[in-house]
Amino acid sequence: MGRIVCLECENGDYRKTLRIGTGQKESEKDNIINFFATAHHPAIHLAYEKDSGYSFSHYPAFCRACSDYITAPVFETMVGSYSDRFIGKTDCGDKPDDIQLIYNIDTEELLCPICKGRLTPKTQGYWE
Ligand SMILES: [Zn+2]
Ligand SMILES: [Zn+2]
């Protein structure tokens, strides 16, 4: 189940709703593979085939190209002590190189892209 989080600036000039986490349908490989560039498909197929440990989630992120908070699909594989992470197509359309993933939206300090004030994350609900 995914979570709907609203980021609100303490100064009231910015508000953004993000759908983060994983939906129910996204446990299926076919439903997530197209979020990722073709170059990453073999590694994703392999992770499912070998069932070697993987996770998929929509991460919140800050995009430097559009100076905004966005979400990006992220696939992580874990094989023994080796892990790899692929960032898929961002919801703003900018390149994954331009974004910085937010690993914990509840504890990281997030600043307003407009006034640099503090943003507070509020859970608005959940999505399937
Ligand atoms: Zn962007
Ligand atoms: Zn602000």
> Which of 59, 125, 67, 122 minimizes the C-alpha distance to 94?
67
Neighbours of 82 (CB within 10 A): 8
| Nearest ligand, measured from the Cα of 93 | 1
Side by side, which strands form the sheet with 99-101?
Answer: 82-87, 68-79, 54-63, 99-101
Residuewise pLDDT in 10s, the chain (128 residues) = 899 999 999 999 999 999 999 999 888 899 999 999 999 999 999 889 988 789 999 999 999 999 999 999 999 998 777 788 999 999 999 999 999 999 999 999 999 999 999 999 999 999 98
Which of helix, strand or coil describes residue 98? helix
Going from the Cα of 111 to the center of ligand 2, the distance in angstroms, rounded, reads 8
Residue 10's pLDDT is what? 98
Residue 90 near residue 70, CB atoms below 8 Å:
yes
Q: Could you tell me which residues come within 8 angstroms of residue 99 by beta carbon, excluding any fewer than 6 positions away?
A: 61, 62, 63, 64, 65, 70, 72, 87, 90
Measured in angstroms, how far is the CA atom of residue 98 from the centroid of ligand 1? 7
* Ligand 1 centroid from CA 63, angstroms: 5
Query: According to the model, what pLDDT value does residue 105 have?
Result: 97
28 is written with which tokens? Answer: 């299926």
Ligand 2 centre and the CA of 8: distance in Å?
8
What are the CB-based long-range contacts (under 8 Å, 24+) for 27-30? 27/56
Q: Residue 64: nearest ligand to its CA?
A: 1
- Ligand 1 centroid to Cα of residue 109, in Å, is 20
